[in-house]
Amino acid sequence: MKFIVSSSQLLKQLQVLGGVINSNNTLPILDNFLFELSENTLKASASDLETTMTATIEVESNDTGSIAINARLLLDTLKTFPDQPLTIKTEGENTIEISSEQGKYDMAYFSAEEFPKAVELPSPSSTEIPANVLGTAISKTIFASGNDDLRPVMSGVFFQFNSKELTFVATDAHKLVKYTRTDITADKNAEFIMPKKPLNLLKGVLSNTDSNVLIEYNDSNAKFTFDSLVLVCRLIDGKYPNYEAVIPKENPNKLTIDRASFLNSVRRVSIFSSKTTHQIRLKMAGTELNISAEDVDYSNKADERLVCDYQGDDLQIGFNSRFLSEMLNNLSSNDVQIEMSLPNRAGILTPIDGTDEGEEILMLVMPVMLNN
């Protein structure tokens, strides 16, 4: 087989696919890209058995054929070329030759037969979402998902589609984020848990496109199709915890504050907190918020005052500063509201402004017990 392709075009697509490949694969064939040529179309794929990603690239050719090429070697070579046409052709039984303006490069190729086939989804359910909406939903939730191997369902993002709205939820039992879109709906009710790796791959490429993403899914797999890319991945098996049950409904104490100054204050004060608990104390009374932290072991202590709008009873509550700053950092609003009921009940953080029409964001953070 022989084809001519733009070096920068090929590199751009293969770099996206490179994110699928693990650094230590159990099957050697997974260290390769699969190339499938069909006249003027080259389909390049990468897989780790759980996730397969395919890109379609336009080339000049009259041939058909398929081979597997070492991904690391090919990417390292392509990175060094200025933009130019490359001629790639098979030579003999197991060698492929790349010809550029600078010279010729031979590398081994492997049989495409060994490469795992992407999973087919027979008669799936489907939903279409604008790329920017899906990208925002992933980046607003993925940071809150867990890393506990013993609870795999919490290591992904829960997709919940129905005829009223689309909901995306992530939690690690200490913090929770629920991102809802009421302006986009699905025909059928569906729920599935997406693993973190394919979501991070999607997050990276969705920011560069303004097309719609077609999501097809069944009980075990999901498929995302947009522009020239297709991603198929295995879903996390299991039942997602009832997250609605942990969101407290009655929260009479409401704190409204400027997000940026609150975030900076939390970051500063947390430097002086205990390195094991990262605990900071919020003390609210009238129009004043007092933020403090103390590391008794090292006699470190910090105390700051901020002006805020607070309605409710005087309250002291402790939070893990890392969770709080992660959440505040993930919002883009000018002001945020924290709703609380008691020092041992979760606080609910919501943006007051800066959200799109039909977009709702709710963040929940569990308190830590204050040691007086």
- E strands of 39-118, at which residues? 41-47, 51-58, 64-70, 85-91, 95-99, 104-111
Q: At what angle do helices 131-141 and 196-206 cross, to 10 degrees?
A: 130
Residue ranges of the chain with pLDDT lower than 50?
Answer: none
What phi, psi does 294 have (nearest 5°)? -150, 135
- E strands of 286-346, at which residues? 288-295, 300-307, 309-311, 315-320, 335-340
* b (16+ CB within 10 A) / e for 22-47: eeeeeeebbbbbbbbbeeeebbbbbb
- What is the model's pLDDT at position 187? 87
- What is the model's pLDDT at position 6? 97
What phi, psi does 24 have (nearest 5°)? -130, 100
- What is the model's pLDDT at position 92? 81
Contact 170, 176 (CB under 8 A): yes
> Residue 132 burial by CB count (10 A; 0-12/13-18/19+): exposed, middle or buried?
middle
- What is the model's pLDDT at position 372? 63
Structure tokens at 357: 């029409």
Structure tokens at 170: 């992530």
Query: In the chain, where does the domain assigned CATH 3.10.150.10 lie?
Result: 2-114, 125-168+185-242, 247-368
Contact 361, 353 (CB under 8 A): no
- What is the model's pLDDT at position 123? 87
Distance CA 148, CA 254 (A): 33
Q: Which CATH class is domain 125-168+185-242?
A: alpha beta
Structure tokens at 281: 């104390």
- What is the model's pLDDT at position 39? 87
> Which neighbouring-strand residues pair with 109?
69
- What is the model's pLDDT at position 107? 95
> Which neighbouring-strand residues pair with 168?
159, 179
Q: Considering only CA atoms, which of 74, 66, 101, 107 is closest in space to residue 87?
A: 101
Architecture of domain 2-114: Roll (3.10)
Length of the chain: 372
- What is the model's pLDDT at position 145? 97
- Name the CATH superfamily for 247-368: DNA Polymerase III, subunit A, domain 2 (3.10.150.10)
